[in-house]
Chain A
Amino acid sequence: MASQVMTNLDPKSRAAAKGLSDLTIRNLFIIPTIAFLIIFNIFPLLYSLAYSFTDFRASTRAPANFVGLQNYRDLLSDPFIWSNFSITAKYVLISVTGQVLVGFGLAMLLNRAIPAKGLITTLLLLPMMLSMAVVGLFWKLLYDPNFGIINYFLGLEKFEWLADPDMALYAIAIVDIWMWAPFVMLLSLAGLSAVPKHLYEAAEIDRASGLYTFFRITLPLVAPILMIAIIFRTMEAFKTFDLAYVLSSQPTTELIAIRLYKMAFQEWQTGMSSAFAYIVLIMVVAITNIYVKYLNKVKAR
């Protein structure tokens, strides 16, 4: 079967001379990848699932005791964990909304004949290419209440962006928006340029106003690709760790990923944190599924 699907090996090739068959070559390519996936992804996934039902602590030699669903029960009834979740939800909402508004707005501005369009697009895409930790570090400098350039330009004197418990989460979201709005812009731009020009002409002939055209033509036609951008960004924002960790250590900015990190590697509650990780995983899968359902609905239109 498999050999019928594949192209047959050229009998004059060097591989054939060495006595390798088509099947051997296929296996040479595939087996290392599969082995890698099993060792580094599947195995830890299952291993941590097993740990999540125990009271195992990686910092001690004490043997792991099976505790059943106790970890899950404790986590889901812990008000502090729920506060982590609501902080994360707020962060995801602000950050993704901001990225979509800024990114789509930029795409709309760029989706026309303007001079140096390529250069502008490239420059706008740069933040996306940087490392999260680096971005966090230099925005920390920008936000600095004493010498930060942001307060200088906004005339805010010594406003403490990151130390202010109410502001810190927004400050982190702003950095995330700065970094990832270009990603939404890039996908939106692809979507916008795929809308046929003659549809806009038809809308103009049909006497539709600019706003009406935007909401009835542009947005519905870009929606599927915009949806994909939103799925990606939501998943990423949900998992945010490094940016928030580098920028602020306020309790009001303790996202689930940070809580998880602390639980696993500072408090060494290995079993408990495995359970926590599984709860997060299930949530991400659930949210993604909702989006994908919606995406399919949008695509069907």
Chain B
Amino acid sequence: MAQIDIQNVQKFFGQHQVLKDLNLTIEDGEFVVMLGQSGGGKTTALRAIAGLETVTSGKILINGEEVQNRKAADRDIAFVFQSFSLYPHMTVRENIAFPLRAVRMNAADRDRAVKAVAETLQIAQHLDRKPSALSGGDMQRVAIGRALVRRPQALLMDEPLGVLDAKLREQMRAEIKRLHIARGSTSVYVTHDQIEAMSLADRIVILHDGVLQQVGAPDQVYLQPTNLFVAKFVGSPVMNVSDVRIDGNNVRLNGAEAGFRFPDETLSTVRHAEAGLTLGVRPEAVLLAHHQGEGYVPVVTTNIEPLGSHDIVDVQLGGTVLRSRTASGFVSGEGQQVWVRLDPAQAHFFDKATGLNMRGAN
């Protein structure tokens, strides 16, 4: 098991910079998820840790040892590829045994290790089959088995569930979490799926355009996004975002006549923004009521998504559509008159120019 330290790493592909001064420490036994859009640099960062990609400058340390100039084989890390990368001409047994045979482990130890891993991953019954005869989920189990069989320093996974269907993904997600808890291996996991990230990670690392945006526990990233990108990327449905004007204690959304009253302590830190402000509120902070009340603004519902456990209700306010998360069946249909209020405690103000969260990291 190992601690991984990334220091000032830069990576260029020709003229294009894909990693911009990346700094990150992954603690021993930690499960870190790198989250971002495709092309954000997360896969490159992972491959750089593995040694499948060189870095242009900067250092990568595993257990305090500099490894950025070492080959992948000398870093003792395991890697699970999105495409599984199973050896097609070998049986499942041979695939899992490959890393052990490659370093000439004796046959008895090898068989024992393969069997143990296969049982943990529930693929023991497939050991003598070819990968092509397996389902997608089992293929990925084999790939994970091949990665775990030699007890590597760290386990790196590049969108390992990306090609599986939704139901299987959920199941495999739980299995990966269970394996991690059982084995306590340092794990780095790359995904663009924020639900995967939230459910698996001890800490989430959000990368965008090769720049690290925020590192934090899932709830921290969700509740205290450092900037507008993180705020919009994490969370489903997406955070409501609108440019606002502040008159006194009145916060008015872009194009809306009426405004929302915010308490002084919320607005004090954001008043000095010169370039203007962007307000962000998650759907659960958009509160609907059937009757006029203190601080509520009248609106008309435009769309309802009934999701079973809750509904997502769209209301039109000025030029902005606000999405609200309500109890299911709270609003019976489109075109209904309701009243809306924003929860000041869950409101975020972002500087329009820099995108930074004005209330800081709270």
Interface residues of A (CB under 8 A from B): 196, 198-199, 201-209, 212, 216-217, 220-221, 301
Q: Evaluate whether A204 and B73 lie within 8 angstroms (CB atoms) in the complex, with A198-B83, A198-B85, A301-B89 already known.
A: yes
A196, A204, A206: the one contacting B146 at CB < 8 Å is A206
Contact string, B82-109, partner A, CB cutoff 8 A, digits 1/0? 0101011100000000110111000000
A207 touches B103 (CB 8 A): yes
B51, B79, B87: the one contacting A199 at CB < 8 Å is B87
Collect the chain A residues with CB atoms within 8 Å of residue B72's CB: 201, 204-205
B174 within 8 A of A: no
Question: How many Å from the CB of A213 to the closest CB on chain B?
Answer: 8
Contact string, B22-54, partner A, CB cutoff 8 A, digits 1/0? 000000000000000000000000000011100
Question: How many Å from the CB of B162 to the closest CB on chain A?
Answer: 14
B77 touches A205 (CB 8 A): yes
Q: When A and B form their complex, which 7 residue pairs have the shortest distance between CB atoms, in order from nearest?
A: A208-B102, A206-B99, A202-B85, A207-B73, A205-B79, A198-B85, A204-B72
Task: Give the most central of B71, B87, B146: most A CB within 10 Å.
Answer: B87
Given contacts A202-B87, A202-B146, A207-B99, 15 further A-B contacts (CB under 8 A): A196-B83, A196-B85, A201-B52, A201-B81, A203-B98, A205-B52, A205-B72, A205-B73, A206-B73, A207-B103, A207-B150, A209-B73, A217-B87, A221-B89, A301-B89
Question: How many Å from the CB of B231 to the closest CB on chain A?
Answer: 35
B78 within 8 A of A: yes
Docked complex Cα distance between A201 and B143 (Å): 13
Question: How many Å from the CB of A198 to the closest CB on chain B?
Answer: 5
B52, B71, B89, B98: the one contacting A206 at CB < 8 Å is B98
Collect the chain B residues with CB atoms within 8 Å of residue A202's CB: 79, 81, 85, 87, 146
A201, A209, A301: the one contacting B102 at CB < 8 Å is A209
Q: Evaluate whether A205 and B50 lie within 8 angstroms (CB atoms) in the complex, with A212-B102, A221-B88, A221-B89 already known.
A: yes
A199 touches B102 (CB 8 A): no
Docked complex Cα distance between A199 and B89 (Å): 11
Docked complex Cα distance between A9 and B81 (Å): 52
Docked complex Cα distance between A208 and B150 (Å): 13
Collect the chain B residues with CB atoms within 8 Å of residue A208's CB: 73, 98-99, 102
Docked complex Cα distance between A203 and B99 (Å): 8
Docked complex Cα distance between A196 and B86 (Å): 11
B98 touches A198 (CB 8 A): no
Interface size on B, residues (CB 8 A): 23
- Can you list 12 A-B contacts (CB < 8 A)? A199-B85, A201-B52, A201-B72, A202-B85, A202-B146, A204-B51, A204-B73, A205-B77, A207-B103, A209-B73, A217-B87, A220-B89
A204 touches B71 (CB 8 A): yes
Closest partner residue, chain A, to B146 (CB atom) = A206
How many A-B residue pairs have C-beta atoms within 8 angstroms? Tell me. 58
Docked complex Cα distance between A199 and B88 (Å): 9
Closest partner residue, chain A, to B103 (CB atom) = A207
Question: How many Å from the CB of B218 to the closest CB on chain A?
Answer: 28
Question: How many Å from the CB of A187 to the closest CB on chain B?
Answer: 18
Docked complex Cα distance between A212 and B52 (Å): 18
B78, B83, B89, B101: the one contacting A205 at CB < 8 Å is B78
Docked complex Cα distance between A198 and B88 (Å): 12
Docked complex Cα distance between A196 and B89 (Å): 13
Question: How many Å from the CB of B73 to the closest CB on chain A?
Answer: 4
Collect the chain A residues with CB atoms within 8 Å of residue B71's CB: 204
B85 touches A201 (CB 8 A): yes
A207 touches B89 (CB 8 A): no
In chain B between 298 and 330, which residues have their CB closer than 8 angstroms to a CB of chain A? none
Contact string, B64-82, partner A, CB cutoff 8 A, digits 1/0? 0000000111001111010
Task: Give the most central of A203, A207, A209, A220: most B CB within 10 Å.
Answer: A207
Collect the chain B residues with CB atoms within 8 Å of residue A201's CB: 52, 72, 79, 81, 85
Closest partner residue, chain A, to B100 (CB atom) = A206
Collect the chain B residues with CB atoms within 8 Å of residue A204's CB: 51-52, 71-73
Docked complex Cα distance between A93 and B320 (Å): 80
Docked complex Cα distance between A301 and B71 (Å): 31
Closest partner residue, chain A, to B52 (CB atom) = A201
Question: How many Å from the CB of A195 to the closest CB on chain B?
Answer: 10
Collect the chain B residues with CB atoms within 8 Å of residue A216's CB: 87, 98, 101
Collect the chain A residues with CB atoms within 8 Å of residue B83's CB: 196, 198
Collect the chain B residues with CB atoms within 8 Å of residue A198's CB: 81, 83, 85
Collect the chain B residues with CB atoms within 8 Å of residue A209's CB: 73, 102
Docked complex Cα distance between A207 and B147 (Å): 11
Closest partner residue, chain A, to B156 (CB atom) = A205
Collect the chain A residues with CB atoms within 8 Å of residue B50's CB: 205
A206 touches B102 (CB 8 A): yes
Collect the chain B residues with CB atoms within 8 Å of residue A203's CB: 98, 102
Question: How many Å from the CB of B89 to the closest CB on chain A?
Answer: 5
Question: How many Å from the CB of B55 to the closest CB on chain A?
Answer: 17
Collect the chain A residues with CB atoms within 8 Å of residue B87's CB: 199, 202, 216-217
Collect the chain A residues with CB atoms within 8 Å of residue B76's CB: 207
Collect the chain A residues with CB atoms within 8 Å of residue B51's CB: 204
Question: How many Å from the CB of B174 to the closest CB on chain A?
Answer: 25
Question: How many Å from the CB of B159 to the closest CB on chain A?
Answer: 13
Closest partner residue, chain B, to A197 (CB atom) = B85
Docked complex Cα distance between A216 and B100 (Å): 13
Question: How many Å from the CB of B85 to the closest CB on chain A?
Answer: 4
Question: How many Å from the CB of A221 to the closest CB on chain B?
Answer: 6
Closest partner residue, chain B, to A200 (CB atom) = B85
Collect the chain B residues with CB atoms within 8 Å of residue A217's CB: 87
Docked complex Cα distance between A199 and B143 (Å): 12
Question: How many Å from the CB of A205 to the closest CB on chain B?
Answer: 4
Question: How many Å from the CB of A247 to the closest CB on chain B?
Answer: 41
Docked complex Cα distance between A199 and B77 (Å): 16
